Amino acid sequence: MVRPILLWFTRDLRLADHPALHAAAREDRPIVALFVLDDVSAGSWMRGAASRWFLAGALDALGSEIAARGGRLLLRRGVADVVVADVAHAVGAEAVHWTRGYDLASRAVETRLAERLAELGIRARSFPGSLIHEPREVTQRGGEPYRVYTPFSRAWLERDAPDRPLPVPERLAFLDPTIPSETIESLALRPTKPDWAAGMRAVWEPSERGAEALLDRFLNGPIWSYARARDFPGRTGVSRLSPHLAIGTISPRRTYWAARARAEVEGRGFQAAWPFLRQLVWREFAWSNLFHFPDLPDEPLRAEFARFPWVEDAVALRAWQKGRTGYPIVDAGMRELWATGWMHNRVRMIVGSFLTKDLRIPWQEGERWFWDTLVDADLANNAMGWQWVAGCGIDAAPYFRIFNPVLQAKKFDPDGAYVRRWVPELANLPNEWIHEPWAAPPLLLEEAGVRLGATYPRPIVDHDRARKAALAAFEAIRGG
Ligand SMILES: Cc1cc2nc3c(=O)[nH]c(=O)nc-3n(C[C@H](O)[C@H](O)[C@H](O)COP(=O)(O)OP(=O)(O)OC[C@H]3O[C@@H](n4cnc5c(N)ncnc54)[C@H](O)[C@@H]3O)c2cc1C
């Protein structure tokens, strides 16, 4: 009997542009497909609830694709290196292939797995696939990591263009081994609160097909006005590909080339796609940061922030989480997050600034809440995003740049469309007052059916006062 190759799926839940799968297909051996839910190795960064929901859908879809090719996606739970080695042994695998990870926990698992497989006489082969250029490839001359985005992106661009994405291999001989497997239900990935899942289901299709549909919609229009429209949460100016990139239902290389090739075919040139492609490079920068600074999710990269006088305020934190701060743009964002598992980037920055500066609550609290509620929860992007808004990251907005939530809202949601959608109790307010209902004339509030403190909260902090207090706190750590 020809010994099979075990394909261990990780953050690459797709068949297209999958180097590890492609290499397996080329070897002309049957393939056993496996996914392991490892809640142990990830430690305190065990996958959160919303991204588990997305994962369940993506596993379902991938399982169907594999079943259509005569195989079965084995599902297991446990410490990944132990489980993968056990399954490899049980199916008599000749080799195990997988897509490399770049966070500390994944790297530790992969090292242990390689050792276990060596003991069993099974070949271990890891491949790139979740980034376009791997972190080790984009460093300064002496191998030092870049700490600032612009030189990183310059070095990234100076590299040879990435290879074209790989198609789904034509011949894929998946096996259906007769060994036990969990089911998606027994992995209990979907939330027990059915309403929550319904909200996410209405918005997302967690599969390769769902990713391709979003990419297609984006390339058929929004990408060309991305630079102008991307900051306006009330418009469809962004791709919404983030959960797919996070879990690998689409590869970044496929996304990159689809945008670049479309720009070239339409005679627009590479530059036309660059504002969007630049965001993919931010993603690579985040992963490079996490690779070189593995504490990124837990510790501020600017050491002085370890002394910052953060405030512990469970009531204010809860109001923020629930979208009841009294600042409409903040509340709209937090409610969009809860309802759909996603939030627009501009609003992520606004709610992040509000939490860490107006409320002075530690950025890690926001990071944790996002981790649990985002379908696109991504260890590197989330940690870099939070360190950026809190001003404690390496190439972050300085702490003293404090967003004014009202001015931000007036600028980026000028017609109030976004706030009206997510904070319907304010929908009847005219544009002039929708972003600061507390300043509206009482009669007008009454006509719009708004009773502050009853139908909609009064602001939980005064922004001007909070801003001064935040700046004073920052001065204190700066002064040493
Ligand atoms: C506080 C905070 C937390 C964040 N947490 C996450 C997270 O957990 N997961 C996540 O994927 N993104 C995170 N981001 C980055 C960004 O907000 C999202 O990637 C983006 O909003 C996703 O929407 P999109 O797919 O339409 O993005 P587009 O604008 O269409 O961009 C395309 C892709 O580029 C990448 N990208 C875009 N912006 C950034 C960025 N600033 N940093 C890194 N990569 C980026 C994403 O993969 C995105 O899907 C966070 C940002 C902030 C400020």
Residue 150 lies in a domain: no
Q: What is the pLDDT of residue 282?
A: 98
- Each residue of 330-350: pLDDT tens digit? 999 999 999 999 999 999 999
Mean pLDDT for the chain overall: 96
Q: Is the pLDDT of residue 69 over 90?
A: yes
Output the domain CATH number for residue 343.
Answer: 1.10.579.10
Residue 107 lies in a domain: yes
Is residue 414 located within the same domain as residue 459? yes
Mutate to test the pocket of ligand 1, among 242, 256, 282 (most ligand atoms within 8 A of CB): 242
**Of 170, 159, 164, 199, which Cα lies nearest the Cα of 50?**
199
Output the domain CATH number for residue 277.
Answer: 1.25.40.80
Mutate to test the pocket of ligand 1, among 153, 240, 283, 355 (most ligand atoms within 8 A of CB): 283
Q: Whose CA is nearest to atom 21 of ligand 1?
A: 345
Look at residues 273, 292, 311 and tell me which one is the last residue of a structural domain: 292
Residue 411 lies in a domain: yes
Which ligand 1 atom is the nearest neighbour of the CA of 245?
47
Q: Whose CA is nearest to atom 36 of ligand 1?
A: 279
Q: Is the pLDDT of residue 5 over 90?
A: yes
- Each residue of 126-153: pLDDT tens digit? 999 999 999 999 999 999 999 999 999 9
Say which range, 46-50, 85-89, 226-230, 396-400, has the weakest mean pLDDT.
396-400
Look at residues 71, 102, 129 and tell me which one is the last residue of a structural domain: 129
Identify the domain containing residue 249 by its residue range. Answer: 197-292
Q: What is the pLDDT of residue 26?
A: 96
Residues, the chain, total?
480
Q: How far is the CA of 325 from the centre of ligand 1 (A)?
A: 24
Is residue 335 located within the same domain as residue 409? yes
Is residue 287 located within the same domain as residue 318? no
Q: How far is the CA of 282 from the centre of ligand 1 (A)?
A: 8
Q: Whose CA is nearest to atom 6 of ligand 1?
A: 382
Ligand 1 pocket: which residues have CB below 6 Å? Answer: 230, 238-242, 245-246, 279-280, 282-283, 286, 345, 348-349, 352, 370, 374, 376-378, 381-382, 385-386, 389
Is residue 288 located within the same domain as residue 327? no
Which ligand 1 atom is the nearest neighbour of the CA of 379?
8
Number of domains in the chain: 3
Is residue 18 located within the same domain as residue 58? yes
Q: Whose CA is nearest to atom 43 of ligand 1?
A: 283
d(CA 246, CA 380): 10
HEC sequence for the chain = CCCCEEEEECCCCCCCCCHHHHHHHHCCCCEEEEEEECCCCCHHHCCCHHHHHHHHHHHHHHHHHHHCCCCCEEEEECCHHHHHHHHHHHCCCCEEEEECCCCHHHHHHHHHHHHHHHHHCCEEEEECCCCCCCHHHCCCCCCCCCCCHHHHHHHHHHCCCCCCCCCCCCCCCECCCCCCCCCCCCCCCCCCCHHHHHHHHHHCCCCHHHHHHHHHHHHCCHHHHHHHHCCCCCCCCCCCCHHHHHHCCCCHHHHHHHHHHHHHHCCCCHHHHHHHHHHHHHHHHHHHHHHHCCCCCCCCCCHHHHHCCCCCCHHHHHHHHHCCCCCHHHHHHHHHHHHHCCCCHHHHHHHHHHHHHHCCCCHHHHHHHHHHHCCCCCHHHHHHHHHHHHCCCCCCCCCCCCCCHHHHHHHHCCCCHHHHHHCHHHCCCCHHHHCCHHHCCHHHHHHCCCCECCCECCCCCCHHHHHHHHHHHHHHHHCC
Is residue 358 located within the same domain as residue 406? yes
d(CA 177, CA 181): 10
Determine the average pLDDT of the residues in 403-426.
Answer: 98
- Each residue of 270-323: pLDDT tens digit? 999 999 999 999 999 999 999 999 999 999 999 999 999 999 999 999 999 999
Is residue 76 located within the same domain as residue 44? yes
CA dist 103 → 61, 235, 238, 407 (Å): 26, 34, 27, 37
Percentage of the chain modeled with pLDDT above 70: 100
Q: How far is the CA of 350 from the centre of ligand 1 (A)?
A: 14
Residue 118 lies in a domain: yes
Residue 74 lies in a domain: yes
Output the domain CATH number for residue 35.
Answer: 3.40.50.620
Q: How far is the CA of 450 from the centre of ligand 1 (A)?
A: 34
Tell me, what amino acid is at 10? T
Q: How far is the CA of 193 from the centre of ligand 1 (A)?
A: 26
Is residue 316 located within the same domain as residue 410? yes
Is residue 324 located within the same domain as residue 451? yes
Q: Whose CA is nearest to atom 16 of ligand 1?
A: 345
Q: Whose CA is nearest to atom 7 of ligand 1?
A: 382
Residue 367 lies in a domain: yes
Give the pLDDT band of residue 480 (cuts 50, 70, 90). Answer: low
Residue 166 lies in a domain: no
Q: Is the pLDDT of residue 4 over 70?
A: yes
- Each residue of 254-266: pLDDT tens digit? 999 999 999 999 9
Is residue 402 located within the same domain as residue 269? no
Mutate to test the pocket of ligand 1, among 102, 279, 395, 401 (most ligand atoms within 8 A of CB): 279
Q: Is the pLDDT of residue 234 over 70?
A: yes
The Cβ of residue 475 has, within 10 Å, a number of other Cβ atoms equal to 11
d(CA 181, CA 463): 54
Q: How far is the CA of 328 from the centre of ligand 1 (A)?
A: 22
Residue 188 lies in a domain: no
d(CA 223, CA 416): 23
Is residue 279 located within the same domain as residue 307? no
Look at residues 292, 319, 335 and tell me which one is the last residue of a structural domain: 292
Q: How far is the CA of 344 from the centre of ligand 1 (A)?
A: 8
Is residue 463 located within the same domain as residue 362? yes
Say which range, 174-183, 192-201, 287-296, 460-469, has the weakest mean pLDDT.
192-201
